[in-house]
């Protein structure tokens, strides 16, 4: 049985852990590796090594730091197939989708090549007589990141790329369910020229996370995962004086207006609702057609397309729309929520409960489900299902539809499908959700914009990537300097002003 390593000081390193968790191949249900669960002492040691490496890295000029990312991007492209295969093998998503996962992280690394420009401070010449004022953006020191299973390439890169480009060292604690790709990324960063110790990967569970939260050397923590853990990490990290940003769960609504192109809306729901088996924080999990006629037309178009979805292992090639979910526990949870929807009286238009894939009976496959007549009091509406289950909530009016999205506790993404610019504009302005699509079902911002939800989908005030990340991973220092022409006149006792 393969034992997963840590990545310490530029080397794959056997963990000292005595506890392990199973890493599955979700398509077959087989345990393919054991992931070590680091102790506090091991995490502390890895952080101390990162702290030793950081000052020299921070002292390197930003252009040279950026060149590591140029090479890294090159290496990601060269290793794309290998990365995607390893990703699909642990996560279950299809190979084209796994490549997308790597690509969206690669684009953040590309953005970080602009570090010399992004790290420039402000300067005021002659702010007062003979006085100049300038600000510097300095790295924090050692930052840490805790990432979820569902984007094992993209989300680690969202964090470590800007953190490292800013001159920090970074300790990554990936999901114990998909640890291989983060380790491969760290190896590629090393190959690209990153000095040893600047990017460390430590595998673990709550004990490792708590070690990061309580270690005084760690200056900032980034987290992406479920909302209860996001809240815990935000509260604990802040109480320990760290800078923290946490991104949580989602329940993304797509509103379909009566004037929408129904073919386009149905296709959009298909990809956004069932792609990656619904295991995306930007998946659409609630469709809100406005008006009975719109709802009827939508269900009529959508149901046969959902029935026809092809579910299978990533090894089947391009013919598969989505793969298995990540664990058997995830499958059980999804199916029990589906049952709760049926029990609560929602209409299960497409029933995937008895889905069985010949030859893959032990895999964690879940058939596609489509619900109609879902109401906001049902668990399938309030809870994040994180599976191939789309709920339809019928609204009589636009106001009722926007109200559902606004009243839901999550606020990650949303979309509206319409041909009316005024409605779209009103929606984008009023909605209390962080990422909005207009005739775009999964509005994930590109690397040079920033990613982040509102309400219970995010905690902290800065988003991921884009210029926000350069703010999150630096501190501003402002210098007021005067080079007197002669030694001056004695003390000043009132606050200095520049008039």
Stretches 9-17, 97-105, 125-133, 145-153: which one binds ligand NAD (CB under 6 A)?
Answer: 145-153
Nearer to ligand NAD, 100 or 453 (CB): 453
Told to check if 108 binds ligand NAD by CB under 6 A, we report no
Strands 19-25, 30-37: pairing kind = antiparallel
Told to check if 149 binds ligand NAD by CB under 6 A, we report yes
Told to check if 386 binds ligand NAD by CB under 6 A, we report yes
The single residue listed with the structure tokens 């509005």 is 443
Task: Say how far residue 318 (Cα) sits from the centre of its chain.
Answer: 25
Among candidates 170, 203, 176, which has minimal Cα distance to 38?
A: 203
Residue 131: strand, helix, or coil: strand
At its nearest, how many Å lie between ligand NAD and the CB of residue 116?
28
Nearer to ligand NAD, 90 or 384 (CB): 384
Strands 284-289, 252-256: pairing kind = parallel
Q: Counting every residue, how long is the chain?
A: 499
Strands 142-146, 169-173: pairing kind = parallel
Told to check if 384 binds ligand NAD by CB under 6 A, we report yes
Told to check if 209 binds ligand NAD by CB under 6 A, we report yes
CA 158/CA 104 separation, integer angstroms? 9
How would you label 187-210 residue by residue, b for 16+ Cβ within 10 Å and e otherwise? bbbbebebbebbbbbbbbbeebbb
Of the candidate residues 250, 257, 284, 374, the single one contacting ligand NAD (CB under 6 A): 250
H or E stretch covering 94: none
Of the candidate residues 64, 82, 117, 206, the single one contacting ligand NAD (CB under 6 A): 206
Of the candidate residues 21, 54, 147, 200, the single one contacting ligand NAD (CB under 6 A): 147
Contacts of 241 (CB under 8 A, 6+ apart): none
Of the candidate residues 85, 196, 205, 426, the single one contacting ligand NAD (CB under 6 A): 205
Would you call 281 a catalytic residue per the annotation? yes
Lay out the site mask for ligand NAD across 408-437 (x = CB under 6 A, - = otherwise). Answer: ----x-------------------------
CA 206/CA 168 separation, integer angstroms? 24
Told to check if 97 binds ligand NAD by CB under 6 A, we report no
How would you label 255-278 residue by residue, b for 16+ Cβ within 10 Å and e otherwise? bbbbebebeebbebbbebbbbbbb
For 468, the token pair is 């926000």
CA 241/CA 244 separation, integer angstroms? 9
Lay out the site mask for ligand NAD across 457-486 (x = CB under 6 A, - = otherwise). Answer: x-----------------------------
Nearer to ligand NAD, 316 or 333 (CB): 333
Of the candidate residues 102, 115, 229, 349, the single one contacting ligand NAD (CB under 6 A): 229
Neighbours of 377 (CB within 10 A): 8
Told to check if 314 binds ligand NAD by CB under 6 A, we report no
Told to check if 247 binds ligand NAD by CB under 6 A, we report yes
The active-site residue, picked from 35, 166, 246, 281, is: 281
For 253, the token pair is 């609504």
Nearer to ligand NAD, 182 or 368 (CB): 182
Nearer to ligand NAD, 150 or 423 (CB): 150
Told to check if 286 binds ligand NAD by CB under 6 A, we report no
Q: Using CB under 6 A as the criterion, which residues of the chain lie in contact with ligand NAD when the complex forms?
A: 146-151, 173, 175-176, 205-206, 209, 224-226, 229, 247-250, 281, 384, 386, 412, 453, 457
Among all residues, which ones are annotated catalytic? 281
């Amino acid at each position: 049985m393969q034992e997963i390593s840590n990545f310490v000081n530029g080397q794959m390193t056997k963990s000292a852990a005595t506890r392990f968790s199973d890493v599955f191949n979700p398509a077959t249900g087989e345990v393919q590796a054991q992931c070590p669960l680091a102790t506090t002492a091991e995490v502390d040691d890895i952080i101390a090594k990162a702290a030793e490496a950081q000052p020299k890295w921070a002292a390197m000029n930003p252009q040279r730091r950026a060149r590591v990312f140029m090479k890294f991007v090159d290496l990601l492209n060269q290793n794309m197939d290998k990365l995607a295969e390893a990703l699909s093998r642990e996560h279950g998503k299809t190979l084209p989708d796994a490549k997308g996962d790597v690509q969206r992280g690669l684009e953040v690394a590309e953005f970080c090549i602009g570090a010399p420009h992004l790290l420039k401070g402000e300067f005021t010449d002659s702010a007062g007589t003979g006085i100049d004022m300038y600000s510097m953006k300095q790295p924090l020191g050692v930052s840490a990141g805790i990432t979820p299973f569902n984007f094992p390439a993209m989300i680690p890169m969202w964090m470590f790329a800007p953190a490292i480009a800013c001159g920090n060292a970074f300790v990554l604690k990936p999901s114990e369910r998909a640890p291989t790709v983060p380790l491969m990324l760290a190896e590629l960063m090393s190959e690209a020229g990153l000095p040893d110790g600047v990017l460390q990967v430590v595998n673990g569970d709550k004990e490792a996370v708590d070690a990061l939260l309580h270690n005084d050397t760690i200056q900032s923590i980034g987290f992406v995962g479920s909302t209860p853990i996001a809240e815990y990490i935000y509260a604990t990290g802040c109480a320990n004086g760290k800078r923290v940003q946490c991104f949580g769960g989602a329940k993304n609504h797509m509103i379909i207006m009566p004037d929408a192109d129904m073919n386009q809306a149905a296709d959009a729901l298909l990809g956004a609702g069932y792609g990656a088996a619904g295991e995306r924080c930007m998946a659409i999990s609630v469709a809100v057609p406005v008006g009975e006629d719109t709802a009827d037309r939508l269900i009529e178009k959508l149901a046969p397309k959902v029935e026809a979805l092809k579910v299978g292992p990533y090894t089947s090639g391009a013919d598969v729309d989505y793969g298995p979910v990540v664990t058997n526990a995830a499958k059980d949870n999804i199916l029990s929520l589906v049952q709760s929807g049926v029990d609560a009286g929602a209409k299960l238009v497409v029933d995937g409960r008895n889905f069985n894939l010949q030859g893959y009976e032990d895999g964690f496959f879940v058939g596609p489900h489509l619900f109609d007549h879902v109401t906001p009091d049902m668990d399938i509406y309030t809870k994040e299902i994180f599976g191939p289950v789309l709920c339809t909530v019928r609204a009589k009016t636009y106001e009722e539809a926007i109200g559902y999205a606004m009243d839901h506790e999550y606020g990650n993404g949303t979309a509206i499908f319409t041909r009316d610019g005024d409605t779209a504009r009103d929606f984008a302005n009023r909605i209390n959700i962080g990422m909005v699509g207009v005739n775009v079902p999964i509005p994930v911002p590109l690397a040079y914009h920033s990613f982040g939800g509102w309400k219970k989908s995010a905690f902290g005030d800065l988003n991921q990537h884009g210029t926000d990340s350069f703010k999150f991973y630096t501190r501003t220092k402002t210098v007021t300097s005067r080079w007197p022409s002669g030694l001056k006149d004695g003390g000043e006792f009132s606050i200095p002003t520049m008039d």
